[in-house]
Amino acid sequence: MSKNKNLNDAARAKKDEFYTQLSDIDNEVQHYTKHFPGKKILCNCDDPFESQFFYHFAVKFYEYKLQKLTATSYKTSPIMGDLFNPVEDKKVAYKVEINEIKILPNSNRDGVAVEDVKALMNELKAALGDKDSVTVGKNTLSILKGDGDGNFLAGDFRSKECIAALEDSDLVITNPPFSLFREFVSLLFQKKKLFLIVGNFNAVTYKEIFPRIMKNEMWLGYGFKNTVGFFKSPYEDTAVASQHKEGLIRNSGVTWYTNLDHDKRHKPIDFSERYARTPEKFPRYDNYDAIEVSKTLDIPEDYFGVMGVPITFLDKYCPEQFEIIGMAKRGAGDPALKTKVYTPADYLNYSDLNAGPVLIIDGVPKNTYPRILIRRRENS
């Protein structure tokens, strides 16, 4: 069974309720704080009464010098519901706009704590009552209505209300629904927004995502340890692995995507291999003008031609050191990069062979995994 079965199942079945832990948010967000002062941050897949994204930024509101914090929730977003695939109405969708947070009296604290945020949200909810919107001090809590035409329910990031909130923001930080990742990212670029979001690592191969990575319009963040995330979720944990955490689902193959610059992406790879020493270790593809490098750490120091590397290379990618040429994968790469297209006259399994890079092993053509085609930059 695939290690990332939970994520793949989510994409197929539109099971999108994977709630990110506060510790994972803390670990990633710490690398981007220089981008936050004066920004209006939007968490647009986040219930303000539940989401750890919202609580992280509310607690850090003054430390990060934020101008505004907004969160919107989907109508069925609690653990009891199915995000973006509802079967019945289960809850109200909220939008909260935070412009100030007061520390509880007699708390003997200098900074904002979770207790202060919870008190603020409870105050707003009590003041809301049966109204559609209420403002207490400089903060507003509203009930989202949706588009009303049956297209998008209340709190759906594609609804008019949520797009208006997106347009008012500078920076989006959230865990969007895996099944709608392509559409979510497309909307962010359409509205020209900065972002830091959680997604399936395999999304790097999507035809809607990879070209943006190749053009350095977006890239990977620091990521989860070993690309493994543990999420609170109502679904059965079907991942086969010895590493589990009580009450959480283990998802292999998960990472952070962003267009915020960070130090890691400018750290060059240290080389340990040389092509001249062991050229047989780097065979040439039969259908691409490139050599096979099966491990990122095996990239040879003295080779400046095109190389095919695993998609996990992107976790080490330094744009000053390498140029991304394309993707060797059917449906995601540029067909013009191929030097050969197999036909039925060549091999019975010609269609399978055309799906990606091919190596000739003992006279027999063999598929490899999808590869990113890269080239070392001169003087790097």
pLDDT tens-place values along the chain, 380 residues long: 344 444 444 444 456 666 788 999 999 999 999 999 999 999 999 999 989 999 999 999 999 999 999 999 987 654 433 443 444 445 789 999 999 999 998 888 889 999 999 999 999 999 999 999 999 999 999 999 999 877 899 999 999 999 999 999 999 999 999 899 999 999 999 999 999 999 999 999 999 999 999 999 999 999 888 877 777 766 666 655 566 676 777 777 899 999 999 999 999 999 999 999 999 999 999 999 999 999 999 999 999 999 999 999 999 999 999 999 999 999 888 889 999 999 999 999 999 999 999 999 999 999 999 999 999 998 87
Do 178 and 150 belong to one domain? Answer: yes
Name 306's bridge partners. 375
Residue 316 CA neighbour count, 13 Å, CB half: 17
- Domain with 104, as residue range(s), is 5-266
Are 6 and 238 in contact by the 8 Å Cβ rule? The answer is: yes
Distance (Å, whole) CA 29 – CA 10? 25
Domain count, the chain: 2
Residue 274 lies in a domain: no
Looking at the structure, tell me whether residues 193 and 234 fall in a common domain.
yes
User: Residue 353 phi/psi, 5° resolution?
Assistant: -65, -30
Distance between CA atoms of residues 366 and 128, nearest Å: 64
Cα–Cα dist 272/258, whole Å: 29
Q: Is residue 305 domain-shared with residue 211, that is, in the same domain? A: no
Token pair for 268: 């060059």
Q: Could you tell me if 208 and 339 lie in one domain?
A: no
Q: Do both 318 and 259 map to the same domain?
A: no
Structural domain contains residue 62 = yes
Calculate Rg over the CA atoms of the chain: 24
Domain end among 214, 239, 266 = 266
Q: Take residue 313 and report the two structure tokens written for it.
A: 């290379």
Do 333 and 308 sit in the same domain of this protein? yes
> What is the per-residue pLDDT for 227?
78
Tell me, yes or no, whether 242 and 344 share the same domain. Answer: no
Element holding 123 (H helix, E strand): helix 114-128
Pair of tokens at residue 323? 């140029």
Burial of 85 (0-12, 13-18, 19+ CB in 10 A): middle
In a domain, 272, yes or no: no
Let me know whether 85 and 220 are in one domain: yes
Residue whose token pair is 């099966």: 294
Q: Are both 121 and 241 inside the same structural domain?
A: yes
As a whole number of angstroms, the distance between CA 245 and CA 167 comes to: 38
- Location of structure tokens 């990060």: 64
Residue 181 backbone class (left: φ over 0; alpha: ψ -120 to 50; beta: rest): alpha
pTM above 0.75, yes or no: yes
106: left (phi over 0), alpha (psi -120 to 50) or beta: left
